[in-house]
Amino acid sequence: MKFRVLKIRNSGSVGRWVSLIRRPRAAPGSTLVEIMITTVVVAIAALGGLSYEYLSAKQTKIALSQMTATRTARLLLEDWKSTGGSSDYRPSSLGLGFSEVSPQLVGLTIPAKLSSTVSSGAYSAQSDALPMVVMLRRKDVAYDPGADVRLRQLSILVNFGEPVGNELVRSARWLETIPPVTLTTFVRSDGSSG
């Protein structure tokens, strides 16, 4: 190993030279600590990005499921409304893939505000590979005997899952996170064929 001896002028005293041994320096690069810190920072950023992607995809799936359920409920509600809220209304006769199931399925959620309504049936359907159980509920709200007109409340409840035996089963865990969809409207019995 060769060393070079350089003489430099000391700034403290004029005319005095100090010898300085110059050692060879390591090549510029990163130390192990710098590499570890960089790895941790990149890992945290990557986990944050992946977490965002996962939650974004999950929320998108939930939103699409609620939109599908809302469209299905609106279709049935408008069709049922055209019959005046008839108790004989059966979505299974529409030819749209609805099949009749027991309205007493364990796991169906009925909001408290609709507990006084009468069940008009429950039907299972699958739309966009989304299994759901649709419940029809109705209630006569008012009656005018002079005009022979009834005001009926019609409600459609959509729960996510499929009926297996006497129970509502959610095959995918993300189905448990979707709240049921409820749509309600009113119809006059004289304004339709019901």
Residue 26 lies inside a defined structural domain of this protein? no
Per-residue pLDDT band for 15 (boundaries 50, 70, 90) equals low
Residues 43-96: tens digit of each pLDDT: 999 999 999 999 998 888 888 888 999 999 999 999 998 888 888 888 988 888
Share of the chain above pLDDT 70, in %: 84
- Structural domains counted in the chain: 1
Q: What is the pLDDT of residue 11?
A: 58
Residue 194: is its pLDDT beyond 50? no
- Tell whether 85 is covered by a domain: yes
C-alpha angle 66/93/89, rounded to 5°?
80
pLDDT value, residue 47: 93
In a domain, 19, yes or no: no
Q: Tell me the pLDDT tens digit for each residue of 16-43.
A: 555 556 666 666 777 888 889 999 999 9
Structural domain including 187 reads 39-191
In a domain? residue 17 = no
What is the average pLDDT score of the chain? Answer: 81
Question: What average pLDDT does range 168-183 have in this prediction?
Answer: 82
- For the cut 70, the answer to whether the pLDDT of residue 174 exceeds it is yes
Residues 137 and 182: beta-carbon distance below 8 Å: no
On whether residue 145 sits in a domain, the answer given is yes
- Does some domain include residue 3? no
- Rounded CA-CA distance 107/110 in Å is 10
Q: Residue 105: inside a domain, yes or no?
A: yes
Over the range 145-169, which residues count as b (16 or more CB within 10 Å of their CB) and which as e? eeeeebbbbbbbbbbbbbbeeeebe
Contact 119, 137 (CB under 8 A): yes
Does 179 reside within a domain?
yes
